[in-house]
Structure 1
Amino acid sequence: MDTPPYARIAGDIKRRIADGRLRPGDRVPSTRQLARDWDVALATAAKALALLAQEGVVIAEPRVGTVVAEQRGAGRPAARRGSGQAGRPGGARERVVRAAVELADADGLDELTMRALADRLGMATMSLYRHVSGKDELVLLMVDAVIDDHPLPEERPAGWRETLETSARLQWAAYRAHPWMAGVTSLYRPLPSAGLLKHSEWVMSALAGTRLDATAKMNVHILLYSFVQGLAANFEQERRARAATGLSDDEWMSAQEERMRAVSESPGYGAFAAFLGELGEFDLDLDRLFEFGLRPLLDGLARQIDQPG
């Protein structure tokens, strides 16, 4: 009788642990990585990790991923690092939320299902509902957890400009580390996140003593948020494109080069063709673009906020 694919994957990871290639605390391959390496469905790879978790071979570590468990006695895993938290109210919920963040970081928010999360944690799917009411609440908790990882300073800077810049940089760091966040909320349907509302509170406190009316203050807040979110959305879009095509951005651009040249050399595109010749090699770096745009954005707001009408 043939061994099922998920069991073969689990067996391979066990062998790597036995011969020392994977040691306690080492991160094991993600669900998506296993699916690629073994040419199996994501569900099969997830089932292999779930089997290992049920056997105590691996454990989900918040902010890290699935790692090889410390072994004690008859194959029982040692308590995870920071296990003192498990006895505190909310400790189990935090483990669920952190595992969800790790799954979304690795595979995107679309791949985060309650079943996949339960498999990652080695739990029954229905048991997750003791900690969260559903995916909507889970995503809200994930956003709050990520924002809390990039906390605002205890004291707000004295000036509005310094306050807005600090808020923008911390939000950028959160989106940069967790690209799925950019697709969670929109300007028309803002997420009721306590973490994001802390940034709103900061901005409104900073603008309270300015000449702006309430509508203008809201416009400033939305503009700052959309600047950060709009740039950060490209990280997740690129991840999805790479997953769908198997091509890096450089490889995709190379494949479009001939068509792009044909278009730019056709009548009516002379200025653009000349520009391409002047530009030469261009490396799109969103971090540099963020820095390039933030200062002019704040300069423009200063003319609205500081200068008399």
Structure 2
Amino acid sequence: MKLVRYGRIGKEKPGLIDDEGKLRDLSGVIGDLAGANLSDKVLRKIAKIPHDTLPLVRGTPRFGVPVGQVGKFIGIGLNYADHAAESNLPVPKEPIVFMKATTSLSGADDPVMLPKGSKKTDWEVELGIVIGTRARYVSEADAEKFIAGYCVVNDVSEREYQLERGGQWDKGKGCDTFGPVGPWLVTRDEVWNVDDLDLYLELNGKRMQTGNTATMIFKVPQIVSYLSQFMTLEPGDIITTGTPPGVGMARNRFLKKGDFLRLGIAGLGEQQQDVIGFQQF
């Protein structure tokens, strides 16, 4: 299934995309796509409902983050060997882990806002994992059971903040709007081979990133198992798993006001974002 949360910011309702690509309302079935509603039991219940009996949503509403009440937004760095090479950094022996602030989360097509004083804001198309069941000290063999599904993530990063300002990467990863997620959550039963998904990103119509999850250093089960040794993963936690080569840092080309991004992953949907200047909320 392709599950979504649609509507104005802070007022999103749960929905799904039916087999004809139409948006259906799920608010009569569940309160939100969050917490226990991401469990296999609830997802099976939703799957059994004849989707053409659900209310049809008219128009073209905004799609928000497809998961509500996100507790943790976790990043894995340098998880493609060719991206590590273009960054002039060694291939990691264990996953590099950082946190993206949950306040960075935004809908797939919401604007990306340059931080105040930004000089090196960059793009990164990535596969996102959404946890469906609490995971603590799980094995790689069992890791898939704890996953609700997958999504597209743009791990927007300010490289000066990340690499030139001392300390952890988090400073360059958690700015407002730096975490577009979606447009939808695709349940794991519909992703036949998560190790063979094409990724792409275009800037102003020019292809910047082309990759495939087959070249990930640490695969999805490894990542989930590894993280569960250090922290309890809760339903709704999002893990973004690294990016293929072609980022702005390697090209010495960073985002500026007026740029337009288009990115996606085969079977998981596409994002489109206008880049805007800093705005005080």
Length-normalised TM-score, structure 1:
0.23
* Structure with the higher strand share, 1 or 2: 2
Higher relative contact order (CA 8 A, sep 6+): 2
Length-normalised TM-score, structure 2:
0.25
